[in-house]
Structure 1
Amino acid sequence: MNIINAKLKKMLFFTAVMLSIFLTSCTSEEDRWTDVKEDPVTEIVTDLDARRIISFQVTNPGESQAIYSAVNNLEKTITVYLPSYYEYQYLETAITLPANTTISPASKELIPVFNTTPVTYTTKASDGTTAVYTVKIVIQQPKLILDELSTASSVFTVNAGTSITLKGENFLPSYEITKVFVVDAQGNKKWQMKQYNEGLNIAGFYAMYVFGATADSPLTLEPDTDYWLMMESYNLSVTMKLPFRITN
């Protein structure tokens, strides 16, 4: 009986010691964490410029598919990122402005894609102050590649009455957009090739053209003379590095 009591006392003493260590440890852990009050944050609210443009959209694809443009109200620019496959010559727009602010020209007026001078808009707030925004159109079009017809050792020749098949990459599938010209060594356009039936193939990137001379419009190119083929496809153009010749 005394042996049992001795063991029980020993176990109780050991338990009391471990509990004391555990409580001391918790107290030390808690002492290391103290709440620190952050410095107050002051939010500065400024008035928005009433002359600003809130949003600028190109709505040619339809309102649900409208192209949102990047408006920079500090630099007063509107950057339109236009995919080349739309082949637009003019843009329709929708412009959002603050209340009582007007814009000129009106948003319903068309914007030419290939304008020689930058298009600008003037906004006017209700207090009479104005701002001028410049439109920048960035056409997203992959590099145009045109395969050579000639080689370094052999000049390609063609009869003026036959067709020419051109191959390459990234032609846009429209003869209204993808045009081919015969140019001289200085890059001057001497003749525009004509469409050959429906020979433009977007999947294989080849296009077929003929010289298309008529009695009313005779061919003015000289036989046995070096000429180059230049392709224009929407925003880009490329000229073959090697010349070709016509035989008659």
Structure 2
Amino acid sequence: MNTKFFNSKTPLLLSAFALISLLTSCDNEEERWTDVKEDPITEIVTDLDARRIISFKVINPGENQAIYSAVNNLDRTITVYLPSYYEYEYLEASIALPEKTTISPAATELVPVFAKTPFLYTTKAADGSTAIYTVKVVIQQPKLVLNELSTETTTYSLATSATLLVKGENFIPSYEVTKVYAVDAQGNKKWQFQQYNDGLDLFSFSGRYSFGAAAADVTLEANTDYWIQMESYNLTAKMKYPIRFTK
């Protein structure tokens, strides 16, 4: 009988060689990584400006509903975002300052909403240095819209003994801050209408106005073009087409 013998050492040697090569390659790959540390981060702490305003809030609605304003200590501005429905003419302020810093005028002084000149605060630190802040009041009021009484081809006429019904959008429902005028072609106010009832209709944005005088005393000229103009708190709107009045 012929017997064949196989050499089993060869596959074992090949397997061992492959394993050693794999381990060697892993070691080599691992050696190629270098642990590099990032540069340390240094935080620089500077002293806060003692002349700064820490906070500014409007307290007309009460402390619980105070309107916090945006204080920019770089530009030295205080921006108050005021909802138009408050109808404020003046603002009551509460101001927080660093210890030993004073402010002029005093925080108790009223701030006019419609100031003709910028309202300024001056802060003074304990070392005598000062800073001047400007108050900016931004009234948040939607666009005022008036519905036309006339058209491009038809001019609306109103007797001076009748009432004027004005409709539109976004009137503030108060006769104290929503006023109606008859103006001429140059925009000059010729007549201010008076309230007709107790208040404007908040839901339909409409209001009735009267001339507030006897027909004989109304100075508007007959058969002359006038425009209806409304001033509602911060905004003014004028009808595009004119109307005419009759005695």
- Greater displacement, 232-241 / 34-43: 34-43
In structure 1, what is the Cα distance between the partners aligned to 2:21 and 2:195?
A: 95
Tell me the C-alpha RMSD between the 2 structures: 2.5
The residue that corresponds to 1:233 in the other structure is 232
The superposition leaves residues 46-82 of structure 1 with CA deviations (integer Å, 9 ceiling, x where unpaired) of 2211111111111112212211111111221111111
Residue 19 of structure 1 deviates from its aligned partner by 6.9
Q: Secondary structure at the match of 2:160?
A: coil
How big is each residue's C-alpha offset from its partner over 1:81-137, in whole Å with a ceiling of 9 and x where there is no partner?
Answer: 111111111101111111000001111111010111111011111111111111111
Match of 2:218 in 1: 219
**AA aligned opposite 2:223:** D
Instruction: Give the letter aligned to residue 244 of structure 2.
Output: R
For 1:40, the equivalent position in structure 2 comes to 40
Query: Could you tell me the TM-score, scaled by structure 2's length?
Result: 0.87
Give the aligned partner of residue 3 of structure 2.
Answer: none
In the alignment, the residues of structure 2 paired with residue 162 and residue 22 of structure 1 have an alpha-carbon distance, to the nearest angstrom, of: 104
Query: Which sections of structure 1, spanning at least 5 residues, go unmatched?
Result: 1-5
| Cross-structure match for 2:181 | 181
| 1:93 has 2:93 as partner | yes
Q: Please, which moves more after superposition, 187-196 or 198-207?
A: 198-207
Residues 25, 147 of structure 1: alpha-carbon distance in 2 compared, 3 angstrom cutoff: farther
Residue 148 of structure 1 and its aligned partner are, at CA, apart by 0.9
Residue 193 of structure 1: aligned partner = 193
Instruction: Please give the secondary structure, in 1, of the residue aligned with 2:164.
Output: strand
Rounded Cα–Cα distance in structure 1 between residues aligned with 2:60 and 2:25:
71
Structure 2 gap segments, 5+ residues each:
1-5
In 2, Cα distance between equivalents of 1:86 and 1:13 = 93
Q: What amino acid does structure 2 have at the position aligned with 1:228?
A: W
Distance 1:17 1:204 in 2: 93
State how far apart, in whole Å, the 2-side matches of 1:25 and 1:170 are.
78
| Alignment correspondent of 2:147 | 147
CA distance in 2, matches of 1:213, 1:16: 116
1:235 counterpart letter in structure 2? N
In structure 2, the residue matched to 1:70 is: 70
Q: Secondary structure at the match of 1:64?
A: helix
Give identity over the alignment, percent.
Answer: 65
